[in-house]
Amino acid sequence: MMTAGRNEALNSRQPSWIPPLDGVIKVNWDASMNMAKNWVGLGIIARDIKGLCMGARSIMLQAKTDPRTAETMATLEAIQFSKEAGFWNVIFEGDAAQVVKEIKSDTQ
Protein backbone atom coordinates (compact mmCIF):
# COMPACT_ATOMS: atom_id res chain seq x y z
CA MET A 1 0.00 0.00 0.00
CA MET A 2 2.78 2.46 0.80
CA THR A 3 4.47 1.71 -2.53
CA ALA A 4 1.26 2.32 -4.47
CA GLY A 5 0.77 5.67 -2.74
CA ARG A 6 4.35 6.62 -3.51
CA ASN A 7 3.90 5.70 -7.18
CA GLU A 8 0.66 7.69 -7.36
CA ALA A 9 2.45 10.72 -5.94
CA LEU A 10 5.28 10.35 -8.44
CA ASN A 11 2.87 9.95 -11.37
CA SER A 12 0.79 12.99 -10.38
CA ARG A 13 3.72 15.42 -10.46
CA GLN A 14 3.92 17.84 -13.34
CA PRO A 15 7.26 18.01 -15.15
CA SER A 16 9.24 21.06 -14.09
CA TRP A 17 11.49 21.17 -17.16
CA ILE A 18 10.07 23.16 -20.07
CA PRO A 19 11.70 22.47 -23.46
CA PRO A 20 13.30 25.28 -25.43
CA LEU A 21 12.14 26.40 -28.85
CA ASP A 22 13.24 24.39 -31.89
CA GLY A 23 16.87 25.10 -32.72
CA VAL A 24 17.66 26.28 -29.18
CA ILE A 25 19.64 24.36 -26.58
CA LYS A 26 18.63 24.69 -22.95
CA VAL A 27 21.49 24.42 -20.48
CA ASN A 28 20.63 23.71 -16.86
CA TRP A 29 23.14 23.75 -14.05
CA ASP A 30 23.32 23.30 -10.32
CA ALA A 31 25.83 23.08 -7.50
CA SER A 32 25.90 20.97 -4.38
CA MET A 33 28.14 21.14 -1.38
CA ASN A 34 29.52 18.99 1.39
CA MET A 35 30.66 21.68 3.79
CA ALA A 36 32.01 19.17 6.32
CA LYS A 37 34.45 17.77 3.76
CA ASN A 38 34.93 20.96 1.71
CA TRP A 39 33.63 19.45 -1.53
CA VAL A 40 31.68 21.27 -4.25
CA GLY A 41 29.90 19.39 -7.03
CA LEU A 42 28.90 21.13 -10.25
CA GLY A 43 26.46 19.60 -12.71
CA ILE A 44 25.51 20.78 -16.20
CA ILE A 45 23.20 19.30 -18.81
CA ALA A 46 22.30 20.61 -22.28
CA ARG A 47 19.07 19.41 -23.91
CA ASP A 48 17.21 20.08 -27.14
CA ILE A 49 13.49 20.63 -27.81
CA LYS A 50 12.81 16.89 -27.39
CA GLY A 51 14.66 16.75 -24.08
CA LEU A 52 17.51 14.75 -25.62
CA CYS A 53 20.84 15.25 -23.91
CA MET A 54 23.20 17.15 -26.19
CA GLY A 55 25.99 17.07 -23.63
CA ALA A 56 26.67 17.03 -19.91
CA ARG A 57 29.46 17.74 -17.49
CA SER A 58 30.02 17.14 -13.81
CA ILE A 59 32.90 18.42 -11.75
CA MET A 60 33.96 17.74 -8.18
CA LEU A 61 36.18 20.34 -6.56
CA GLN A 62 37.73 20.37 -3.15
CA ALA A 63 37.03 23.89 -2.00
CA LYS A 64 35.83 25.67 1.11
CA THR A 65 33.18 28.08 -0.10
CA ASP A 66 29.65 29.32 0.43
CA PRO A 67 26.50 28.30 -1.53
CA ARG A 68 26.34 31.53 -3.56
CA THR A 69 29.93 31.16 -4.71
CA ALA A 70 29.34 27.49 -5.58
CA GLU A 71 26.29 28.44 -7.69
CA THR A 72 28.32 31.18 -9.39
CA MET A 73 31.04 28.65 -10.19
CA ALA A 74 28.41 26.33 -11.71
CA THR A 75 26.99 29.19 -13.77
CA LEU A 76 30.39 30.11 -15.18
CA GLU A 77 31.15 26.45 -15.91
CA ALA A 78 27.81 26.14 -17.78
CA ILE A 79 28.71 29.12 -19.96
CA GLN A 80 32.21 27.75 -20.65
CA PHE A 81 30.80 24.28 -21.40
CA SER A 82 28.33 25.74 -23.91
CA LYS A 83 31.07 27.70 -25.65
CA GLU A 84 33.35 24.64 -25.86
CA ALA A 85 30.47 22.50 -27.20
CA GLY A 86 29.69 25.06 -29.89
CA PHE A 87 26.21 25.88 -28.60
CA TRP A 88 25.46 29.45 -29.66
CA ASN A 89 21.66 29.60 -29.55
CA VAL A 90 21.32 28.82 -25.84
CA ILE A 91 18.96 29.43 -22.95
CA PHE A 92 20.65 29.13 -19.56
CA GLU A 93 18.45 28.06 -16.67
CA GLY A 94 19.55 27.71 -13.08
CA ASP A 95 17.88 27.81 -9.70
CA ALA A 96 20.22 30.32 -8.07
CA ALA A 97 17.94 33.35 -8.35
CA GLN A 98 20.43 35.88 -6.98
CA VAL A 99 23.24 34.76 -9.31
CA VAL A 100 20.93 34.84 -12.36
CA LYS A 101 19.59 38.27 -11.34
CA GLU A 102 23.12 39.69 -11.05
CA ILE A 103 24.17 38.29 -14.42
CA LYS A 104 21.06 39.73 -16.09
CA SER A 105 21.62 43.15 -14.54
CA ASP A 106 25.19 43.24 -15.87
CA THR A 107 24.08 42.37 -19.42
CA GLN A 108 21.18 44.79 -19.80
What's the pLDDT tens digit per position in 45-62? 999 999 999 999 999 999
Give the pLDDT of residue 50.
Answer: 97
The whole-model pTM stands at 0.77
Question: Rounded distance, CA 102 to CA 55, Å?
Answer: 26
Residue 13 included in any domain: no
Residue 15 included in any domain: no
Question: Rounded distance, CA 52 to CA 48, Å?
Answer: 6
* CATH code of residue 58: 3.30.420.10
**What is the torsional sign of CA 35, 41, 47, 52?**
negative
Residue 6 included in any domain: no
Residue 68 included in any domain: yes
Q: Is the pLDDT of residue 4 over 80?
A: no
Alpha helices in 13-85 (DSSP H): 67-85
Would you say 87 and 25 are in contact if contact means Cβ atoms under 8 Å apart?
A: yes
**What is the torsional sign of CA 90, 27, 100, 71?**
negative
- Can you point out the beta strands (E) in 1-108? 25-34, 39-47, 53-62, 90-94
Residue 91 included in any domain: yes
Give the pLDDT of residue 13.
Answer: 60
Question: Rounded distance, CA 31 to CA 48, Å?
Answer: 22
